[in-house]
Amino acid sequence: MLSSAYKHTTKKKNKIMASNSEIFKALADDTRLRVLNLFLISEGSLCVCEIVDALELPQYNISKHLTVLRYVGLVDVEKEGLWGYYHLKTDEQKNHALFAFLKNYLIGEKFDTDRSNLEVRLKLREEGKCVIGNVSEQKVGKLIKKQAEQVI
């Protein structure tokens, strides 16, 4: 369930409309900024489980934050079978300026760690798609080692 801060958001023609204050309220959370940063550095779609593994947070927590970001119109989702691939919603002009600002603003050790984790996690994709779901850090290491051995 969304916070009361989003109760005034309205749907119009299946398009979600949010006020500027609601968008900035959504950005006033470290986890949501970390999630947005992953999208900005990946420049593409990410599966929920890839975000979970990169940020090392529980799936329910990431899903909650993605719901808020979707509700205010910053991200959208496309379903492919069991997988949900989220991406930045770039079809609105005001989002372009916001994403450009965030790309330059979201810097620091935590964001660098998230980036490294995402790079490792994305190496497990097959044909550009997530195929393994949520995995532990130990399992990620084993899968990457196995994948490297198959290349040799």
Residue 108 belongs to domain spanning: 4-151
Q: What is the 3-state secondary structure (H, E, C) of 49-91?
A: HHHHHHHCCCHHHHHHHHHHHHHCCCEEEEEECCEEEEEECCC
* Whole-number average pLDDT of the chain: 82
The answer, yes or no, to whether residue 60 has pLDDT greater than 70, is yes
Per-residue pLDDT, averaged over 113-131, amounts to: 87
- Looking at residue 112, what is its pLDDT? 93
The answer, yes or no, to whether residue 67 has pLDDT greater than 60, is yes
Instruction: Please report, as a single letter, which amino acid is at residue 123.
Output: K
In a 13 Å sphere around the CA of 65, the CA atoms on its Cβ side amount to 19
Per-residue pLDDT, averaged over 52-81, amounts to: 93
- Looking at residue 25, what is its pLDDT? 94
- Please name the residue that has the structure tokens 């970001």: 69
Query: pTM of the entire structure?
Result: 0.77
Q: How many domains, in total, are found in the chain? A: 1
pLDDT digits (tens, 9 = 90+) for 5-57: 554 444 443 445 678 899 999 999 999 999 999 999 998 899 999 999 999 99
- Looking at residue 127, what is its pLDDT? 79
Q: What is the CATH number of the domain that holds 25?
A: 1.10.10.10
